[in-house]
Amino acid sequence: MYEITGNKDLGFSTGLLDTVETPTSVHSFIDIKNEESRTYYAIAEGSPNHGIPPILLEIKIDQNDIFISKTQSLYGNPEKMGSHHADFHPDRKHIYVGSTQGYMYVIDKDNMNIISTIRTGLGSAHTNFIPKRNLAIVTNHKDTFVTIVNTKTHKKIKDVTVSPEQKNGQILQSHTSFVNAVQSYFYSFATDNGTFYELDLETLDISRTLYTGGTPRQGVFVSTNPVFTHIINRSASAFDITSSEPSSAFIGGYNTVDAPTELIWSSDGNRSRSSSSKFSTILIDLGNAWGMRDPV
């Protein structure tokens, strides 16, 4: 734990306050916004080579001291396990922790007990919660389907196929996904297949797909209206959107290199075009238009 002092005019400096030893490396903290209690949660990834399973850590800060107050190991064979991500349930009481071997563990943060184990897919990781519908969509990086969970009962509803089998040596599902403002659609990439898809949260089935090429793994979805900015070859450009509906853009990073596309914004028959030689951007009108791909 470091202390940062200074200001933007005079500059900043850092000073080490304290350290805490963890069972294995920690990939990330979970929603680190709890300044009042100074209690935080993180995932120790586990070490298959040393027989150490993934572990949820409760970490507290007291003045200038940092320490682990509670832990909960994930059940299973540690030689086949690993974990790098967890998400808070909207009730702020439960934490969903995915594990590589294909399970989602639901943990009560108050007592750190596992209250439910949900069979998901290989590479189970990120969870997108849809509070209005009491649903969660689980990304399974190494499998062909996402898993849909009832967040009231913490039980699986169904699996939905979003990708064919691996053919390009990449993960099957991207790290980044998006739920629109009214929580009616879920968007993500079938990475290895280079396909962007829309999942209808009413029918719980795929409603539309868009082939982009490349293997997009990670990016940023930005909801904007009525004008949005996107990245093409590291320079910013703007499109005017003819529809008044909420819209979003997917901004790709290094993983979209070598996936040249010509991107067409379409709404009610009006089209704007821009060519991208390296950085691909997917445009989605959440109302009545859909991005399309043409060869450059």
> What pLDDT is attached to residue 259?
34
Instruction: Give percent of the chain with pLDDT exceeding 90.
Output: 47
d(CA 20, CA 64): 12
**How much is the CA Rg of the chain, to the nearest whole Å?**
21
Percent of the chain at pLDDT above 70? 72
- Tell which wins on pLDDT, 135 or 177: 135
Which of 128, 229, 134 has the alpha carbon at shortest distance from 186? Answer: 128
Q: Is the pLDDT of residue 274 over 50?
A: no
Token pair 């968007």 is found at 187
At 66, the pLDDT band (50, 70, 90 cuts) reads very high
* 162 or 267, which is more confident: 162
The predicted model gives 196-203 an average pLDDT of 93
What average pLDDT does range 168-192 have in this prediction?
88
**196 in Cβ contact with 278 (< 8 Å):** no
**How far is Cα 162 from Cα 268, in angstroms, rounded to an integer?**
28
**Residue 104: Cβ within 10 Å count:** 26
pLDDT of residue 99: 92
pLDDT (mean) for 155-177: 91
The three-point CA angle 241-247-251 to 5° equals 100
- Give all domains of the chain, ordered by start, each with its CATH number: 1-161 (2.130.10.10)
SS3 label, residue 48: helix
Q: What angle do CA 98, 162, 97 make, to 5 degrees?
A: 5
DSSP, res 52 = B
- Residue 238's nearest CA partner among 247, 229, 248, 226 is 229
* Average pLDDT score over residue span 136-161: 96
| pLDDT value of position 85 | 86
| Alpha carbon of residue 212 to chain centroid | 19
User: What is residue 232's predicted lDDT score, i.e. its pLDDT?
Assistant: 33
Length of the chain: 296
Asked if the model's pLDDT at residue 291 lies above 50, the reply is no
Instruction: Check whether 205 has a pLDDT greater than 60.
Output: yes
- Per DSSP (E only), the strands in 84-213 are 86-88, 94-99, 103-108, 113-119, 124-130, 135-140, 145-150, 155-161, 177-179, 185-190, 195-200, 205-211
Return the minimum-mean-pLDDT range out of 5-14, 29-38, 224-233.
Answer: 224-233
Over 70: is that where the pLDDT of 251 sits?
no
Return the residue matching tokens 């400096």. Answer: 13
Give me the chain's average pLDDT, please. Answer: 77
Are the beta carbons of 220 and 255 closer than 8 angstroms?
Answer: no
DSSP string covering 252-282, please?
A: E-GGGTT--EEEEEEETTEEEEEEESS--EE
The residue whose two tokens read 């507290």 is: 60
Segment 254-263 shows an average pLDDT of: 33
Q: Name the CA dihedral angle for 119, 121, 126, 130, rounded to a multiple of 10 degrees.
A: -60
pLDDT at 181: 82
Per-residue pLDDT at 73: 95
Tokens in use for 53?
A: 């399973």
Higher pLDDT, 175 or 59: 59
Tens digit of pLDDT for each residue in 76-93?
888 888 888 899 999 999
Map residue 113 onto helix, strand or coil: strand
Task: Show the tokens assigned to 152.
Answer: 């009231």
The confidence band for 265, taking pLDDT boundaries of 50, 70 and 90, is very low
Instruction: Give the pLDDT mean for 213-237.
Output: 51
